[in-house]
Amino acid sequence: MLKLEKFKDRLEDDKARLERMIHSRRASVTSHGTNGVNESFSNSGDDEYADAATDTFIQELDMTMLNKYKHRLEQIRHALERMEAGRFGICVRCNTKIGEARLDAIPETPYCRECEGDVEVQD
């Protein structure tokens, strides 16, 4: 029998942490502005071009991390919804129980190990 409260507490903690991280990344993305390499290049020399390229790289990295955080947050929200519906720990694809060890490692997972492998192959 799964200890739902343990998983719910962990998911809620992860959700709150991710929401803080998303807020922080959004602030970072906003602070970098929208000046790209092309605009800086037309206004200055090599040093400024290199700085603009670095800023663009950092902004793209921030956006990538922001998207990853948002995706995981969405997965956590879906896991909490499954929990409320009495479907937590049951694979959404084949309706078999997800192993507790797998849920300990990835509590937001919607798939058993077998279906996860099938889904990854299809992507």
pLDDT higher than 50, residue 74: yes
Going from the N-terminus, what domains does the chain have, and what CATH number goes with each? Answer: 4-122 (1.20.120.910)
pLDDT tens-place string over residues 14-73: 999 999 999 988 887 776 555 444 454 455 566 788 888 888 888 889 899 999 999 999
SS (H, E, C) the chain: CCCHHHHHHHHHHHHHHHHHHHHHHHHHHHHHCCCCHHHHHHHCCHHHHHHHHHHHHHHHHHHHHHHHHHHHHHHHHHHHHHHHCCCCCECCCCCCECCHHHHHHCCCCCCCHHHHHHHHHHC
